[in-house]
Structure 1
Amino acid sequence: MFDFSAFFAQYGNLFLQGTVDTLIMTCVATILAYVIGIPLGILLVVTSPNGLRPNRIVSTIVGWIVNIGRSVPFIILLVALIPFTRFIVGTSLGVPGAVVPLVVTAAPFAARMVEQSLEETDGGLVEAAQSFGASNWQIVWKVYLKETLPSLVRGAAITFVTLFGYSAMAGTVGAGGLGDIAIRYGYQRFQTDVMIFAVLLCVVLVIVFQAVGDVAARKIDKRRR
């Protein structure tokens, strides 16, 4: 029979540190990805043919940048960015070394999520704001972002879950976290119990954060009140 007390006595601190590392790298990467992704998403919408300031050249260039960023597999990007990561944070290992490639791979994804959310805005609201003399910036801030906030929150939750999975891949290059534990202890040392527990812990955390994102989106969605 499996001895839970002995298991947690031996690996409890390891899993606690791994969980903290995973949450830190994922949360920080999600926040920074949206710091970059929101302006890019706004730019895509505003410069689109039906946007507030149509600009085919800008829209095409930004679209290509976003598409190229999304098309590179994360595991390849993780290795290719090692010199850049070392230049930015001084190391390619641990949580700091994982945040940089996570942000680079997530920013284009976040930009597309933001773009899709903003495109859900009712065109009538935009026209009404324009008829009242609102500037483009006021329309972006008070119409686009305000009206689509629930969708943006759901998109952030999806991005977090996606990065959570990527953080496990980062364990292959010594980034730490639950992925590193699953690889070093579960796979390389053939400790099946550690592997199973790491997977179950990841599943639970993903479910919890997805549920939190859904609840937060419903709370701020005025259309459901």
Structure 2
Amino acid sequence: MTGVILTALWQTLYMVFWSTLLSVLIGFIPAIILTLTAPDGLRPIRPVYEILSFLVNVFRSFPFVILLVLVIPFTRLVVGKAIGTTASIVPLTLSAIPFIARIIETALRETDAGVIEAAKSFGASNWQILWRVYIKESIPRILNGIVLLIISLVGYSAMAGTVGGGGIGDIAIRFGYQQYRTDYLVVCSIILIIFVQLIQMIGNHLYKRLS
């Protein structure tokens, strides 16, 4: 049992790490565009903001289980197969991008308008304001958003396990549910709870330090 659980835990960590990293890196792009083109942004462009905001909302609306099925052709194109731990990173990342993009946008737009105006009065360019004011001031809030993202991805990775993605969810279904092994269900649940609690504790500690 220990070997099976440890392998599943490693698979879960692998899926969550890469999907978090990729989604944050990619999600920053629409988040910055939304922030800049918003009505109160540095370069307001209402059509761009409205269209991109609509697309983010649409993709956020897809239930993860449905998205798993819809992106099978794309997953196969990217990694060469539709099931497995590595293959699960694709739908996990795609589901997380609009989520983290909206969180980062919200964090950036909560920057104190007075600080932005002060930077403008000193002659700072839009690029300097973006990096030295918006992003620098928003780091603690963005970190909080990433913590929420990781916790959500832990749950999504468990769902990915039900369709051959591996990880803790796969063990809970195959051994705990299908073979009526309550001990596997209990252990898998405890591991996920502990993992989420650790992530939240680390996130809270870093937030306080950065704030």
Q: Which residue of 2 aligns with 1:95?
A: 85
Deviation at 1:92, TM superposition (A): 1.7
Deviations 1:113-152, CA, capped at 9 Å, x for gaps: 0011112100011001111111111111000110110111
Aligned length: 211
TM-score (norm 1): 0.92
Deviation at 1:36, TM superposition (A): 1.2
Matched, 1:143 2:150: no
Matched, 1:152 2:142: yes
SS class of match (1:148) = helix
> What are the within-5 Å matches in structure 2 for residues 108-187 of structure 1?
108-187=98-177
Q: Which amino acid aligns with 2:16?
A: T
Q: Which residue of 2 aligns with 1:84?
A: 74
Q: RMSD of the TM alignment (CA)?
A: 0.8
Matched, 1:106 2:76: no
1:213 to 199, 203, 210: 203
SS class of match (1:173) = coil
Deviation at 1:19, TM superposition (A): 0.6
Q: Which amino acid aligns with 1:93?
A: I
Q: Which amino acid aligns with 2:173?
A: I
Deviation at 1:31, TM superposition (A): 1.0
SS class of match (2:75) = helix
Identity %: 46
> What are the within-5 Å matches in structure 2 for residues 14-29 of structure 1?
14-29=4-19
Deviation at 1:25, TM superposition (A): 0.5
2:20 to 22, 27, 30: 30
For residues 193 and 210 of structure 1, the distance between their equivalents in structure 2, rounded to whole angstroms, comes to 26
Q: Which residue of 2 aligns with 1:64?
A: 54
Q: Which amino acid aligns with 1:81?
A: V
For residues 23 and 61 of structure 1, the distance between their equivalents in structure 2, rounded to whole angstroms, comes to 35
Q: Structure 2: which 5+ residue stretches go unaligned? A: none
Q: Which amino acid aligns with 1:144?
A: Y
1:39 to 24, 29, 45: 29
Matched, 1:52 2:42: yes
Deviations 1:32-84, CA, capped at 9 Å, x for gaps: 11111112111111101111000011101110110011001000000111111
Larger radius of gyration: 1
Structure 1 runs of 4+ aligned residues shifted over 3 Å read none
For residues 72 and 161 of structure 2, the distance between their equivalents in structure 1, rounded to whole angstroms, comes to 14
TM-score (norm 2): 0.98
Matched, 1:75 2:65: yes
For residues 137 and 99 of structure 1, the distance between their equivalents in structure 2, rounded to whole angstroms, comes to 32
